[in-house]
Amino acid sequence: MKVEMGLVALALSCLVLDLFLPKKKSGYILANVAMTGVALLFALLCFEWGQFGHAFGSSFVQDGLAICFKGILFIATFFVLFMAREYQAQLKRGQGEFILLILFALIGADFIASANDFLLFFVALETLSVSLYIMTAYLRDHESSIEAGVKYLILGALSTAVFLYGLSFVYGTTGSTNYLEIQQRLVSSSTLPASFIFGMILIIASLGFKVSAVPFHLWVPDVYQGAPTPVTAFLATASKTAGFAALVRLVLTVFSPAAEQLTLLFSVLAALTIIYGNLGAIPQTNIKRLLGYSSIGHAGYLLIGLAVPGLLGKEAILFYLLSYVFSTACAFLVLVALAGSIKSDAVSELTGLSKRSPALAAAMLVSLMSLAGVPPFGGFFAKFYILWSCMRSGMIWLVVIGLLNVVTSLYYYLKVVKVMYADEPAPGLPNLEVSHSQKAMQFFAIAGILVMGIFQGPFVQVAASALSSFLTTR
Amino acid sequence: MVAHIILFAPLTAAVFITFFGLRRPKLSAGVALAGILLSLALSTFMFWSNAFEVRGGDAWIQAPGLLVQFGFLIDPLSLLMLLIVTGVGSCVFLYSISYMKGDTSYARYFASLSLFAFSMIGIVLSNNFLMLFVFWELVAVSSYLLIGFWFEKPSAADAGNKAFIVNRLADFGFLLGILYVWMLSGAAGTERTFNFAELARRLPEYLQNGTIAPAAMTIAALLVFCGVVGKSAQFPLYIWLPDAMEGPTPVSALIHAATMVAAGVYLMTRSFFLVSASPEALAVIANIGAITALLAGMLAVVQNDIKKILAYSTVSQLGYMVVALGLGSSTAAMYHLSTHAFFKALLFLGAGAMIHGLHTQDIWEMGGLFKKMPVTAATFLIGTAALCGIPPLSGFFSKDEILHLALEHNKLIFGVMLFTASLTAFYMTRALWIAVLGPDRAHGHKKNDHEHGNAHDAPFAMKLPLILLAILSMIGGFLGIPTFLSGEHAEPLNMTVAATSVGAAVFGIVFGTMLYSKKSLVHDPLKRSLGTFYQFVVKKYYLDEFFVWLAGLFQNALARVFFWFDTNVVIDRGVNGAASVTSSFGSLLRRAQTGVVQSYAMVFAIGIVAIVYFLLMRS
Amino acid sequence: MIGLHHYLIVSAALFVIGLFGLLVRRNILMVLLSMELILNAANLSFVSFSSFRGELTGQAVVFFTMIVAAAEVTVGLAMVVLLYRKKRTTNTEDLRSMKW
Amino acid sequence: MSLGPVSILMLAPALGACLLLFVPKDRIKLIHAIGLIAASISFLLSIFVFWQYDRAAAGYQFVDRVEWVPSLGIAYHVGVDGISAVLLLMTGFLAFSGVLVSMSVKKRVKEYFIFYLFLISGCLGTFCALNIFFIYFFYETAVVPVFPLIGVWGSGEKKDYATMKLTLYLTLGAVLALVAILGLYFAAGVNTFDLPAIEQAVRANPLPLDFQRWAFPLLMVGFGVILTLWPFHTWSPMGYAAAPTSVSMLHAGVLKKLGAYAIIRLGLGLMPAGAAMWMPIVAWIAAINMLYCGLVAFTQKDLKYILGYSSCSHMGYILLGLACMTPLALNGTLFFMFAHGLMAALGFALVGFIYDQTHTRMLKDWGGFGKKVPFVSVLFIMTAMASAGLPGFGNFIGEMMILMGAWDKYRIQAVLAVLGLVVTAGYMLKTVRGTMQGPLNPSGNDLKDATGIQKLPYALLLAGLLAVGLLPSIILPTIETGTRPILERISHES
Amino acid sequence: LSSMLETSLFYAFSLGLVVFALGVVTARSAVYGVLSLVAAMCCLAGLFILLKAFFVATVLVLVYAGAILVLFLFVVMLVDFRSLSLDWPSFRTSPAIAVILSLLLFSQFFKVIRTIEPTGVKALDGTAEALGGLLFDKHVLPFELTSFLILAAVVSVVVLAKKDAE
């Protein structure tokens, strides 16, 4: 709980600080404060490893799984805060509040990772979502941003409603909202009531919306494209991580009695999602939209981890998410660094980037290659790990689909690489200057990608012990 | 060890020239000559000391199931061939020193020539099929390099390519033959071998006890013979040899008259155990030889280029040798090979001297040479006589042996051979009258008068080989070559055959003299009198056209079809098709992204309905 | 006798009506209103289950649902205002600058 | 943990590349020096490893092993056996000469060298990794840097298409193979990717036949793509034509062999029964490769296309050798792989050398260069001869062994293979005729021959080619120690 | 309450709920829509009372009739909704699909609901006291967390809807 308290304190102190800071600088300073706070809290989080247990009548749980997801969330938020700091000029107004909203969203996401009760989970989810709706529409001068906000809000609200309705059935069937209690009651009953499965489907649909699983994904490209870049980054990383944090815990607890149906459901969803995301990305010309489609594809790979029965798939999800966060963050760091000097988010704006700024191009290259799953980057082992676990459960067809789409994804990523490296920049464009702090952050992300890609062992070990601590903490 | 030195001396010379001699022409010529002379000296030493050896040699390629040796087989056959190669080789090297003087690539010439000598000696010394094949290919390369020596000249470059390709085509069969023989050698479950001695022991035995079928032997023999057809320029692959005359004349003398082209005959002799066991193969070989001899003889009649005349003559004489093989006597073949090496090398070198002096190869621009270059003319005359089979010159004896053989075995072939003998005499007489004895025709229609007028006998370095070879051509019949080879005493001359053959030769000479001794002759009188047939022969029986058509079939038709297939089917339809299906699928998918938020909600709802249906309602 | 099923069916009807409205109305305001219907369908379901199962948590959920609904409506209406100011429209069919 | 020579030779280029990241991009000489040092460390160590490899003891030597991801059975495990030792030697040769040739790259030198060194490391790593995961890891690492290398430094109007196609094809193959590899992990039932451990397990109980039946074709096609298995060959000529010289060298020389290596190691070594089921088909495809690609090479007008198709055609011999699964053919295949690596690299290097000066590779724009560049032209002719299977060069011995190995098993294909030699000679001579012989084409008026250090890479490659061609016993016994266990398993399972 | 009365009240409230709900989705004017919603919410509150969820019923009426109604009306005043009758989809088939979809969904709901055991009686009193105990004890964490939710909503109004100073 210390971390959560710290987080709340951080958010509130930022809120107060915002009142006293000069309008023009508040965003910058708050971002720095928040980054420092998040970094410290991350350290604190690490020290909480081992102190596992429940709180608030077991509606809050702190175990390895929660800590791992929180760690990923903190890293993602750290990147997003930095992006927000560099994005001040584009925001134009409400810079301080922007940082606040990121922290609110983090609070929501953080509680999602620890929630052991649907009630807490629901409120946390809404905290995250509402903050995101607002941030998505933050660029008031851009129609696309408002449009994205509206779309996200409407569909998000629908998904909330579907979630609630599903929850009511789960609650009605079992008479509880606590994960463990529900699981116990279901295990003790001889048959699995249809109403429970019905509720489960609705809940999964709603969470599928959050993690952008086909067919609940249609908001993704539009919202990713329209939202301010740091928000897109947040959606792609932290929000998705939160969704998977919830799904993993639910699959392991509440839904575990329906393992058979889950495997069927998630494997089909995973296949559809992988195919849709990767094929849909091919014709895209907007880099953020392209990353949106690609994030759908990645959600598909992550869903494979859910489809695989047992704990291995979930370990793979942890690894995958962290590597995905590093890679995606790296790509968005580049986009944010470019934000001031490109006219639009069209891929063609990156033409000749390697000439204009080798460092940015290299960061983008590493990030895209990692996303595509090319060794020696983290994305490779992530895919390998998850497909390995899938193969273990005998779903060869899913492995084949996953692998074939690696090729597809390589195609559209390489198209971007080609634009950056092979094409000549338009004459007269100046070289781009990248600040040291930006370089440092990119370096951090690249280092993460590389370390995860080469020294996979420790990460796998942490993931494994996270899952085993989940078992012992219950 | 001696054999090693014989083999590697020319190679060392070649390597030395490549690394150190490219800018030092004189040094490189000296080194090359030293190399071949060393080989000659040691060969002679071996000959005198009767140092026959049939050693296993060292393992060259050793792998499970395969042992290829690097070893020498030295017996009378290889020793004789070795002497011819190094002997004629030395003459040609010596001759080349002044013949090639002033050429910009003087050193390269000697390097290539030394490489050739190395490869040729390798063929002779090899104790197994694969090693022989290695050198067999190497002579092809050196021949390619030497034919295309003046590679800036398109015709020379083309000729080199043609020679190489035709030989490769023949080696297709030869290599299959080697593999086939290799397989047969293990028919009884023993370890397979390429070794000649071992094969000669095993194969007849296997044939005897039925381990291998007679047909198998025929196949093996004919496949190996394929190589001979290429290298020894037999019908229908002789087409490369006349073109090979684009190379420097000493090269033609050494490679394309005396040694390399004879390598095929040597090979057949070496592997005679294959052929002798198969009457069918023998018949095929004899017939091919006869056809070659006849066709090439006729071709020689219509040539105007002195080297081409000699080239076709070579082909024709090779036909004789092959006939001898086909009739079952390798000794006769080798006998004719030896004498032919002497007089044909002599003729080529003589022709070279004429070309050197007159700067033309057209016999109709020569003439009156006895005055200008008496030594050349005289040796040329001796060579001609030897070729025509005038007793007691060397050609008479060897040719007589073959005719005798033919008479005994196959009357038809005898007739053909006899006709060819007469044809030989005829075209050589023609060449002699027009190019050497006749009046100097160049003044009438040639521009470089001053050079022509200054034509004189070659320098000593060129004359010496001529004289040496002339001597050999004269006494070649008395050296006891058949005895040396077969160990038996030569049969006495069959007077009937001898008389017939001399008669045929004389007929040819007389007829030739009648036609071509006229001083006023400017054009070939045969052209008019033979009409269409003459044209047919001039066009080389359209055999080249046939091959061009065949090559075109492969190169243009089939290859183009494949290329078309590659670009339009494999790539376009297959690859791009798959790619475009994928990406159009992508475009199709994104149509779901209408932009209207309610349609997204609709899909969301449909998704729920579908999942509920499939997961809950269906069962 | 009115039982759990009756209430649940009413709630289902409410859900479906709300969904229908959400799917066919093109005015964002109407979409938000339909959304309220769906949310309250869930509320009804919760309360019925809570009542019939004798378990109070369901009603607690409803309490939170209303807070969430209020928050979402607030954000949604803020966006409507923003959108209207910017584009003079509240029709979702006009919001398709991003597609495909 | 102490790193053995194999680790060092494999990591040296990668470390060099990392070092280059911190070098300013205008310090060309320093960049060259680092690249050269890294490559020469690999080169010298590859010679050292080859030389020090104990043939009598055989097995895996110079082994470095560090647990990496224990729960998945992944360990950093490198070492060499007879096969790897020889292929590492070849890669060492090519890496060194490739870096030397790369010195002629003028644009964006730093990035070029970074990518190039990574490429080298990937190749070396594939050959020496003893953990299947790492084999795949390095294989992919080698495949992908080619994309920017061709995309940025390549030439020709189809460059973009070619490089995309190449990368996608190879990745497609790789993922197919990965399916088989993942299946292998579970089929072997020892819960490890460790190659020696799996080999041992397979020796005790062979993999299930059903598994072998479906996994082998995946592996064969997957790695066959990079081996230009017909009809998956079309990426190759196009890719080579677009690639810069040193990349073509490495790609044609080494990368193609990665595929063959993986098929031998994983396919023949672990699933011999599956291989036996499918190899008759492969043998036919091999024949198609040889003749079809050879004939297509006839029609080409661009020199690099000729070399590209020629290399596809030569891969037919490797495929045929693999298909035989007999000692002679397998040893011959590896021998041929070594020789072809050097030969292909030499060919591309020479064409590249002249192309750098003439800026055209069209046959019609070349001609008569023999007089202008005697050194290069002599080497070019020798390369052509080697390519045509002339004795004296390593290719000949490899081809002969393959032919003899194939003779008993696939006689028709063997006969077609011999015919393939004729075809090769045909287009190679045609090429020599069109480039080096005949009257001088004006485009070559300013040609300058290689001088001094420029000659080194060519001379080195040729020397290697001749050395193994004349004295096959340099590498043949080592190859044999490597193939023996594989052959034992083949005979055991058949 | 007698069962007869309860039954009739249930049907009355249910009918009202459905009718007003339909009124919401088919309203030709935003004001009608909002007012229909409030009416529907009142019916819903009636049902809640039948279910003895008194506290929730009260809050529902307060929230909807009070807060949300005002909010909506405020926006309706702010925004010009004269063209509301044109807000049906331009793509003619989508209402049909929506109808079919809704019916399908309803039938699925129906099937699922039928499987639920109708056990238990309304024995529970959802009073403020009882609920408060639950909220401030067991579910205090989500309760506290809602403050951030509301805070976020407040921020949204400030940053999104506030007119720029200039």
Closest Cα in chain C, distance from residue A233 (Å): 18
Residue with token string 């009115």? C2
- Where are any strands of DSSP class E within E13-127? none
Q: How far apart are CA E54 and CA E42, in angstroms?
A: 13
Report chain E residues whose CB lies below 8 A from the CB of B599.
Answer: 94
Chain B environment of A408 (Cβ under 8 Å): 582
Q: Of the candidates A400, A407, A456, which has its C-beta nearest D179's C-beta?
A: A400
D 376-435 residues with CB < 8 A to B: 385, 388, 390-392, 396-397, 400-401, 403-405, 407-408, 414-415, 418-419, 421-423, 425-426, 429-430, 432-433
pLDDT digits (tens, 9 = 90+) for C10-29: 999 999 999 999 988 888 88
* Interchain contact C31–B (C-beta under 8 A): yes
Report the pLDDT value the prediction gives residue A247, as an integer from 0 to 100: 94
Work out the minimum CA distance from A364 to partner chain B, whole angstroms: 24
pLDDT, tens digit, for every residue of A11-40?
999 999 988 888 888 889 999 999 999 999
D contacts of B160 (beta carbons < 8 Å) = 437
> Is there a contact between C92 and B590 if contact means CB atoms under 8 Å apart?
no
Which chain B residues touch C23 with a CB distance below 8 Å? 598, 601-602, 605
B523 pLDDT above the threshold of 80: no
Comparing B335 with B54, which gets the higher pLDDT? B335
What pTM value is reported for the model? 0.91
* DSSP collapsed to 3 states, B301-344: HCCCEHHHHHHHHHHHHHHHHHHHHHCCCHHHHHHHHHHHHHHH
Confidence band of B53 (pLDDT split at 50, 70, 90): low
- Whether the CB of E151 is below 8 Å from some CB of chain C: the reply is no
Per-residue pLDDT at A94: 83
The whole-chain average pLDDT of chain A stands at 91
Q: What are phi and psi of D59, to 5 degrees?
A: 75, -170
Per-residue pLDDT of B88-100, as tens digits, reads 899 889 888 888 8
Residues of D in contact with A421 (CB under 8 A): 148, 151-152
Tell me how close the Cα of A463 comes to any Cα of chain E, in angstroms. 28
Indicate yes or no: CB of A107 within 8 angstroms of CB of E164.
no
Among B598, B609, B611, B613, the residue to mutate for chain E (most E Cβ within 10 A): B609
Q: What is the pLDDT of residue A331?
A: 94
Which chains are within 8 Å of E by 3+ CB pairs? Answer: A, B, C
Task: Please answer yes or no on whether C7 and E59 come within 8 Å at the CB atom.
Answer: no
Residues 11 through 50 of chain E touching chain C, CB cutoff 8 Å:
14, 17-18, 21-22, 24-27, 30, 33-34, 37, 40-41, 44, 47-48, 50
CB atoms within 10 A of CB B291: 18
- pLDDT beyond 70 at B490: no
CB contact under 8 A, C25 and E25: yes
Q: What is the pLDDT of residue E93?
A: 64
Residues C66-84: tens digit of each pLDDT: 989 989 988 998 888 888 8
pLDDT band per the 50, 70, 90 thresholds, residue E16: very high
What residues in B contact D415, CB-CB < 8 Å?
176
Give me the interface pTM, i.e. the ipTM. Answer: 0.90
Task: Tell me which of A147, A216, A275 to substitute to probe the interface with B (most B C-beta atoms closer than 10 Å).
Answer: A216
Q: Do E101 and B602 touch (CB under 8 A)?
A: yes
* CA nearest neighbour of D33 among D113, D105, D142, D124: D113
- Flag whether pLDDT at E2 surpasses 90: no
Q: What is the band of B491 on the pLDDT scale with cuts at 50, 70, 90?
A: low
Chains C and A touch (3+ CB pairs under 8 A): yes
Min distance C39 CA to chain E CA atoms (Å): 11
Judged on CB neighbours under 10 Å (0-12, 13-18, 19+), E165 is: exposed
Which residues does A299 contact at the CB level (< 8 Å), separation at least 6? A211, A212, A213, A217, A240, A273, A277
How much is the pLDDT for B450?
A: 47
pLDDT of residue B447: 47
**pLDDT score recorded for residue A421:** 87
CB contact under 8 A, D234 and B571: yes
Return the C-alpha torsion angle A389, A391, A395, A396, nearest 10.
Answer: 150
Q: What b/e readout covers A386-422, taking b as 16+ CB neighbours within 10 angstroms?
A: bbbbbbbbebeebbbbbbbbbbbbbbbbbbbbbbbbb
Cβ–Cβ below 8 Å for E105 and B606: no
Report, as ranges of residue numbers, the positions in chain D whose pLDDT lies below 70. 1
Q: Is A181 on the interface with C (CB under 8 A)?
A: no
Tell me the mean pLDDT in the region B18-31: 85
Which residue does chain A place closest to D112, by CA atoms?
Answer: A421
Interface touch E161/C33, C-beta < 8 Å: no
Q: Does the structure show a pLDDT above 60 at E31? A: yes
pLDDT digits (tens, 9 = 90+) for B493-514: 777 888 888 888 888 888 888 8
CB contact under 8 A, E94 and B599: yes
Residue B445, pLDDT above cutoff 60: no
Question: Residues B564-570: what's their mean pLDDT?
Answer: 74
User: 3-state SS string over chain C?
Assistant: CCCHHHHHHHHHHHHHHHHHHHHHCCEHHHHHHHHHHHHHHHHHHHHHHHHHHCCCHHHHHHHHHHHHHHHHHHHHHHHHHHHHHHHCCCEHHHCCCCCC
**One-letter amino acid for residue A95 of the chain:** Q
Q: What is the pLDDT of residue C65?
A: 92
Inter-chain touch B161–D429, beta carbons under 8 Å:
yes
Kindly identify which residue of chain A lies nearest to residue E164, measuring between CA atoms: A93
Contacts of B104 (CB under 8 A, 6+ apart): none
Residue A154 has pLDDT above 90, yes or no: yes
Q: Which residues in B lie closer than 8 A to residue C100 (C-beta atoms)?
A: 590-591, 593, 595
Verify whether the Cβ–Cβ distance B602 to E94 is below 8 Å: yes
Q: In chain B, what percentage of residues exceed pLDDT 90?
A: 8
User: pLDDT at position B255, please?
Assistant: 83
pLDDT tens sequence across A203-227: 999 999 999 998 899 899 999 999 9
The Cα of A268 is separated from the nearest Cα of chain B by a number of Å equal to 10
Kindly determine whether residue B600 and residue A264, on different chains, have CB atoms separated by under 8 Å. Answer: no
In chain D, which residues have their Cβ closer than 8 Å to the Cβ of B144? 429
Contact list, A175 vs chain C (CB under 8 Å): 49, 53, 55
What residues does B62 pair with on adjacent strands? B67
D337-385 tens-digit pLDDT: 999 999 999 999 999 888 888 888 888 888 888 888 888 888 998 999 9
Residue C65 — φ and ψ, nearest 5°?
Answer: -60, -40
Q: What is the pLDDT of residues B215-261, one digit of tens each?
A: 888 989 999 999 899 888 888 888 888 888 888 888 888 888 888 88
In this complex, do D144 and A421 lie within 8 Å of one another by their Cβ atoms? no
Q: Does C17 touch chain B (CB under 8 A)?
A: no
Distance from CA of C95 to the nearest CA of E (A): 13
Which of B8, B126, B151, B548 should one mutate to test binding to chain D, selecting the residue with the greatest count of D CBs within 10 A?
B151
Q: Is B571 on the interface with D (CB under 8 A)?
A: yes
Which of D231, D368, D433 is closest, CB to CB, to B574?
D231
Collect all residues of chain D within an 8 Å Cβ-Cβ radius of residue A384.
133, 178
CA of E89 vs chain B CAs: smallest distance (Å): 9
The answer to whether B603 contacts A218, with C-beta atoms less than 8 Å apart, is yes
